[in-house]
Structure 1
Amino acid sequence: MAHPTRTVRESCSTTVVGGLPSRTGTALAKLCCEILLADGPAACAAVEAKATTPALERVVEANNLLSGLGFESGGLAVAHAVHNGISEIEGSHCHIHGEKVAFGLLTQLVLEGKPQSEIDEIYRYQQAVGLPICLAQVGVDANSDEQLNRIAERSVIPGESSHNEPFPVSAAAVSAALRAADQWGRRLL
C-alpha cells in the first residue's frame, strides 16, 4: 500500500513535528490511502455530476482529516521532496501541490523498488481521478536534463524529506526514478 508514512516508519526517521512516526499516524495514513483508492473515482464522478454521495463524503474525510493527521504523525518522504524539486521549474507553477506530490509518489515507488503491481495500482488510480502520471502533466520537460537535474538536486538538499527513506538517496537516484516513472506514465497515456 503506497503511503509515505510506511517509509518514514521503516527508516525510524522523525516526522515534521519532531517525533517518531506513531502507530496511529501510520494506520491513519494507510486508511486514507485505502479510502482514496476505493472511492476516489466514484467521488470524482460525483463532483462532475454536482452530487453528494457517500463515496465523496469518505474522500473528503480522507483528504481533510486523515491525510493531515497521517502527515503530522507519520511523516513525509521522497514524494514531497520531489514536489519541492518540481516547484523549482517555472512551467510547474500553474500546477497545484497535490498534482506535484502525486507524480512524486510515483517517483518514490520507483526509487524504492516497490513491486510493479503496487506501482501499477497507483498509476491506474491517478489516471482514473485525473492526477498526473508523467512529467509533462506537471509542466516539466522530461527531455531536459537541466530540469530533471534541478528537480533531483533540490529533492536531496540537507533536511529534505527524501532523507527519511531507509537508505541513502542521491540526486542521481532521484533523477533515474523521475525518468523511469515518466517513461512508464507516457506508455500508459
Structure 2
Amino acid sequence: MDDLNEAIRQSDDYETLLKRAEHLAELLEGFAPLLRRNEQKTFNIKALTQKIIKLNTHRFEHHNVTVSCPVNTDESESFEVTAPFGLLQATLTNLIDNSIHWTNLQAEKKGSDFKPAIRIDTLPHWFKEGPALVVMDNGPGFSLTPEEAIQPFKTSRPGGMGVGLYYADKVMETIGVDFKYVTQKI
C-alpha cells in the first residue's frame, strides 16, 4: 500500500502504477482464504511454496532479498500435506515477514557487502515425525529460546507485537503438526 501510495504521489508512469496495483490485488487475494472456512484438504507442498514466492516476489525485490526455493525447481523433494491451505499460507507469510525484517537488519549492521537471503526448502526425511517445510535466513539468529519465542507477546523485534511465532505454533497445533523452531548458525 505504501509503495503504491508513494508511486501515485510521485506521478510514476502508468506501467509502474499498474504493476503495483496488480501486486496489491494478488496480496489481498492471498488473505481471502483466511476469511473463508478453513477446510482441510490434501495438496502438494510445492503448490504452497509456489504461491508464497509469487505473492512475495515484489517484497523480495523491494527489500533486496535473494530467495531460494529448491522445491519449486524440483531440486528438493516435495510431499503431500493435509491441512487448511489458507492457514499454512498465512503462517508461512509470517515467517517470511520475520526473515525479511531480520536479514535487512543484519544488512544494516554488516554493510554493503552483506546480501540478505532466505531459503525455503523441504526436509522430507529429516524428522522422525514426518516431512518438514523450513524457512532459513542469514539474519542474526534468535535471541529468544524456542520456548520463549512461541509465547504470546514475547519478541526481540523492535516494535514487534510478539504474536507471529505464537500464531504459527497455534496453527500447527490446530492441524496436529509440531511447529519446530530451531536456531542454528552455519
TM-score of the alignment, normalized to the shorter chain, above 0.5: no
Q: Which has the higher contact order (CA 8 A, sep 6+)?
A: 1
Q: Which has the larger radius of gyration?
A: 2
TM-score by length of 2: 0.31
Higher normalized strand content (fraction of residues)? 2
